[in-house]
Amino acid sequence: MIDPFGRRISYLRVSVTDRCDLRCVYCMAEDMTFLPKAEILTLEELDRLCGAFIGLGVDRIRLTGGEPLVRKNVLSLVRSLGARIGAGGLHELTLTTNGTQLVRMAGDLHAAGVRRINVSLDTLDPATFAAVTRWGKIEPTLDGIFAAKAAGLAVKINAVAMKGVNEDEFDRMVAWCGEHGFDLCLIETMPLGEITGDRNDQYLPLSTVRSKLRERWTLQETDYTTGGPARYFTVAETGGRIGFITPLTHNFCESCNRVRVTCTGTLYMCLGQDDSADLRGPLRNQDLDREGLQQAILEAISRKPKGHDFVIDRVRNRPAVSRHMSVTGG
């Protein structure tokens, strides 16, 4: 699958649910209305949809959400996708999670073929964690992270950088990740979805964070990449890796190899644009075979835009894109 700008689309992110057991302030409003069940693809439909993408050359799939591990029976999807790793055409199956369910699920994920996961953890401070997630407790996530490590999963910690919230914690997080062998990836807040409060208050440019980190740590440039938008450095003192995702201050679109599908089967060709394609119709259309579904996918890929135009609208304080990250999948 090659898009109009010559980029090979080989990476699919699948949001398996819009629901979550937390309410992170940058991600969701406190009183979210979730989708009715009839609109949500079944796990079997999600598997069939992923199969169609794999048939078109997608070789990496990341399950996300919402919180992917709160979807009932999600392990059956993980297992059926895991069975496609190798000869089935899939190179890698990964997951982004808030970690709350990992204590009971990490072993099963590994057994199904998952080898790397991203866990979102913005802070190591219990009170800040409770404030950012609106009601979460930090212990299940921390226990989950160590359960994942014990199960043999490589863990990358994702932290959203927020002004006045966790900006003084990054030294501690670099040290903690280095100590436990986790990669760390810092993310700028993106203007996605209506939330409570003002995004301008939260926005912290990572260029500032990086300069501050350099006062204590030696950050060595690397050409390491996971195929994503993060720019990685090695922390000389710990040997760990730290990545920076800077959607607002740096354009990462030239090498974009990914598309995203929501749990309702809507395909978004760009995280920062509204154009989409409905794949649930083709999926549920009895008259359409796998090829028909693949035609719908290819038609959508031919509309993949060159890049996003994220900007926090400082005049009207509106998000650039109205859907939440929990809908599109982070």
Residue span binding ligand SF4 (CB under 6 A) among the ranges 63-71, 80-88, 228-236, 265-273: 63-71
CA-closest candidate to residue 49, choices 216, 274, 283: 283
Strand partners of residue 97: 119
- The contact mask relative to ligand SAM for 134-163 (x = CB under 6 A, - = no) is ------------------------x-x---
Residue 62, interface with ligand SF4 (CB under 6 A)?
A: no
Least CB distance to ligand SAM at residue 187 (A): 5
66 binds ligand SF4 (CB under 6 A): yes
Q: Does 98 bind ligand SAM (CB under 6 A)?
A: yes
C-alpha pair distances (Å), 223 with each of 116, 124, 232, 276, 303: 19, 29, 7, 32, 30
- Stretch 187-206 residues interacting with ligand SF4 (CB under 6 A): none
Is residue 20 part of the contact set for ligand SAM (CB under 6 A)? yes
Tokens 């996961």 correspond to what residue? Answer: 117
Query: For the chain, first and last CA: distance in Å?
Result: 22
Tokens of 248: 């607002």
Footprint of ligand SF4 on 75-104 (CB under 6 A): 98
41 binds ligand SF4 (CB under 6 A): no
Residue the block writes with tokens 């989409």: 276
**Kind and range of the H or E run holding 47:** helix 43-55
Reduce the DSSP state of residue 155 to 3 states and report it.
strand
Residues 41-80 that bind ligand SAM (CB under 6 A): 64-65, 67
What count of residues does the chain have? 330
# residues near ligand SF4 by CB under 6 A: 12
Q: Is 18 in the site for ligand SAM (CB under 6 A)?
A: no
Nearer to ligand SAM, 133 or 294 (CB): 133
